[in-house]
């Protein structure tokens, strides 16, 4: 891969990250496995950053793509688009948002960017509340609401962003509190913040923080926030780019762990629904979605071919109860990893839900993050035939595990064994 790597470096930005000391080119995929250009086969526990949601080369999806490509690939939103309307109808129903309208984009970044446009236009305010340790995309507006310094390259911003406590349960000033007291402290912080600012447009939050290392608050935090937000007329945007479509096992959407006061005003999605095709989108109640007073289109959002893939993918997910599989197999995998962690002093915490699992590494005997150890485990896992990701707040010291939702018990056991060996080899 040296030749391709040299060519990549010659034409790509320096900030375009690659995994591994010797980057690999993935050329084939089937089920939960991928193969690189040298013929090495890997069990895939990261799915192209949580995007290959059901399986590599899922026959139902590849057939739908081929059939649609044989009819028409592209038309734009200037023309009626049957697959887009059908997908929007299904998502509107699944979202739980009353009188929902759906707008399709090509990525999670663009979905969140659109949500910010809607919220600021609806509320006539450029002020946004966001969570510390959050990540919402790479555009100019979304890096400005990202509460993770490693992924926010500029403090120049079109928005005024204020950050709220609550996204990280086991670190920070409220970490030692019980769940009930943690929620009360975060709500008090939000109340205090709103008492010192003018007319925020929205709070945007990931139910489980993805790039931040799969951290999450106690269940019910955003329901408690919602009561405060409603009183102040502030919208709630749930960023479901990584948590949507049943990945957490217990719920179809991440917001449903905080559902006491109903769905969010705006929901964003992307990644897994296209199973590798470029699909993102925004769901909002009609009053919010229709607040824009200028024309707009999307050249590529909701294209016939990506919608055909998404419809086939969503049907497969629902018909085969992949949410239930994520709950069952993910629960087994988390317990297996916690058992491994018990004998590994470098592991501070194994956390997550369903097939969205984080393993946080620290320097043994301390609470200090250890990104070097995470990098070493990533390499050792690859050498053992397992692909995983990494992330985290102040440093990339969390191993991110998010396999396709069709993962079998045998594959979960195989992946856990490889990761155990990698942890011991790196430690």
**pLDDT tens, position by position, 42-66:** 999 999 999 999 999 999 999 999 9
- Percent of the chain, pLDDT > 90? 93
9: CB partners within 8 A, 6+ apart:
none
Please compute the mean of the pLDDT values over residues 20-47 and round it to a whole number: 98
Domains and CATH numbers, the chain: 2-57+322-426 (3.90.1150.10), 62-319 (3.40.640.10)
Q: What is the pairing mode between strands 389-391 and 347-353?
A: unpaired
Please compute the mean of the pLDDT values over residues 102-106 and round it to a whole number: 98
Give the per-residue pLDDT at 1.
Answer: 61
**pLDDT tens, position by position, 211-262:** 999 999 999 999 999 999 999 999 999 999 999 999 999 999 999 999 888 9
**pLDDT tens, position by position, 319-341:** 999 999 999 999 999 999 999 99
CA distance 405 to 246: 9
**pLDDT tens, position by position, 340-385:** 999 999 999 999 999 999 999 999 999 999 999 999 999 999 999 9
Nearest to residue 54, comparing CAs of 80, 31, 38, 79? 31
| Average pLDDT value over all residues in the chain | 96
Please compute the mean of the pLDDT values over residues 316-320 and round it to a whole number: 98
Give the per-residue pLDDT at 393.
Answer: 80
Give the per-residue pLDDT at 427.
Answer: 66
**pLDDT tens, position by position, 274-295:** 999 999 999 999 999 999 999 9
Residue 309 · residue 61 · CB < 8 Å: yes
- Percent of the chain, pLDDT > 70? 99
Give the per-residue pLDDT at 2.
Answer: 73
Please compute the mean of the pLDDT values over residues 129-150 and round it to a whole number: 92
**pLDDT tens, position by position, 380-419:** 999 999 999 999 986 789 999 999 999 999 999 999 999 9
Give the per-residue pLDDT at 411.
Answer: 98
Give the per-residue pLDDT at 164.
Answer: 96
pTM above 0.85, yes or no: yes
Placement of tokens 């999806």 in the chain: 61
Give the per-residue pLDDT at 198.
Answer: 86
């Amino acid at each position: 891969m040296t030749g391709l790597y040299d060519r990549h470096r010659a034409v790509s930005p320096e900030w375009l990250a690659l995994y591994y000391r010797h980057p690999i080119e993935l050329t084939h995929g089937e089920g939960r496995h991928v193969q690189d250009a040298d013929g090495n086969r890997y069990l895939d526990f990261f799915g192209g950053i949580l995007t290959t949601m059901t399986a590599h080369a899922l026959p139902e999806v590849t057939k739908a793509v081929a059939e649609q490509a044989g009819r028409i690939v592209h038309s734009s939103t200037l023309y009626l688009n049957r697959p887009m309307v059908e997908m929007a109808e299904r998502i509107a129903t699944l979202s739980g948002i009353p009188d929902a309208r759906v707008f399709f984009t090509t990525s999670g970044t663009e979905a969140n960017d659109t949500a910010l446009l809607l919220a600021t236009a609806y509320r006539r305010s450029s002020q946004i509340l966001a969570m510390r340790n959050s990540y919402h995309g790479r555009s100019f507006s979304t890096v400005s609401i990202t509460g993770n310094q490693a992924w926010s390259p500029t403090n120049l911003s079109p928005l005024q962003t204020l950050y709220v406590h609550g996204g990280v349960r086991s670190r920070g000033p409220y970490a030692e509190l019980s769940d009930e007291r943690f929620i009360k402290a975060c709500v008090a912080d939000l109340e205090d913040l709103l008492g010192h600012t003018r007319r925020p447009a929205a709070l945007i939050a990931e139910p489980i923080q993805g790039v931040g290392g799969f951290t999450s608050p106690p269940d019910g935090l955003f329901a408690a926030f919602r009561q405060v937000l409603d009183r102040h007329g502030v919208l709630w945007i749930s960023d479901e780019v990584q948590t949507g479509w049943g990945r957490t096992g217990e719920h179809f959407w991440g917001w449903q762990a905080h559902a006491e006061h109903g769905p969010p005003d705006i929901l964003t999605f992307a990644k897994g629904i296209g199973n590798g095709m470029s699909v993102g989108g925004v769901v909002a109640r009609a009053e919010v979605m229709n607040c824009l007073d200028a024309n707009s289109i999307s050249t590529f959002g909701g294209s016939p071919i990506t919608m055909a893939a998404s419809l086939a993918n969503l049907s497969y997910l629902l018909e085969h109860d992949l949410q239930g599989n994520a709950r069952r197999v993910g629960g087994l995998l988390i317990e297996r990893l916690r058992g491994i962690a018990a004998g590994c002093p470098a592991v501070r915490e194994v956390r997550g839900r369903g097939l969205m699992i984080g393993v946080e590494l620290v320097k043994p005997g301390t609470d200090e993050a250890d990104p070097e150890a995470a990098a070493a485990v990533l390499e050792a896992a690859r050498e053992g035939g397992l692909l995983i990701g990494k992330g985290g707040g102040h440093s990339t010291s969390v191993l991110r595990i998010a396999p396709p939702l069709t993962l079998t018990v045998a594959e979960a056991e195989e992946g856990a064994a490889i990761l155990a060996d990698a942890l011991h080899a790196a430690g």
